[in-house]
A = this chain, B = another copy of it.
Amino acid sequence: MDTTIKNVKITKMPESNFIKPFRMEFERDGKAMHWDCVKVHDSVSVLLYHEEKEAFLLVKQFRPAVWCRQKEDVLERGFTYELCAGILDKGISEEETIIEEIYEEVGYKVENVVKIGSFYSSFGFAGGKQTIFYAKINESMKKWKGGGIDNEQIEPFYLLVKDAMKFVYDENYVKAASMAYCFMWFNERFKK
């Protein structure tokens, strides 16, 4: 991916549609306390297994929040390797949302997904719920090249199943533990 990021400015966050900071004031066992949080959307993601390629299909994209945390000396500053995913902001079901996201991000037309599990993340300040699915894909389901909609710039990344755990431990590639979990879930389910 040949992306250039320039003229970065960090400014005050105005009212945002995606992140809503708030303070929760409460009494725990009679004691007054408070805690700072952000309200964010719940999300869905999917482990995609491509049959002919014997590979997982991940997405690579630029993430401003990661860019800001990294120094200039990293290999691909701000880029992450993720499960195909989306936020629940359209008023449709988790299954419908992830099927739409698969089509938009990587161009495959999937009819069914299998639920792996529901988890929460960033307990300390956000606590968003993430439901993870699994789906098999093959070349006959490919309808367009993908890449996302609006301003998204999403690159497909095929990772051979046999190389997946090596990839997990290579810290040059930014990834979530949930992805590592999915790889192991797959191995346990299909490779024994």
- Report the interface size for chain A: residues with CB under 8 A from the other chain: 76
Q: Is the CB of B4 within 8 A of A26?
A: no
Residues of A within 8 A of B (CB): 3-14, 16, 18-19, 21-31, 33, 35-40, 42-43, 62-69, 80, 82, 87, 117-130, 132, 151, 153, 168-169, 171, 174-178, 180-181, 184-185, 188
Contact partner of A126 among B5, B126, B132, CB < 8 A? B126
Q: Give the docked Cα–Cα distance between A147 and B71 (Å).
A: 36
Q: Do A12 and B23 contact each other (CB < 8 Å), given the known contacts A63-B124, A117-B169, A120-B175? A: yes
17 contacts between A and B (CB under 8 A): A4-B30, A6-B30, A7-B25, A7-B26, A8-B26, A9-B25, A19-B125, A33-B151, A37-B68, A38-B125, A65-B127, A80-B120, A117-B177, A117-B180, A120-B175, A121-B121, A125-B126
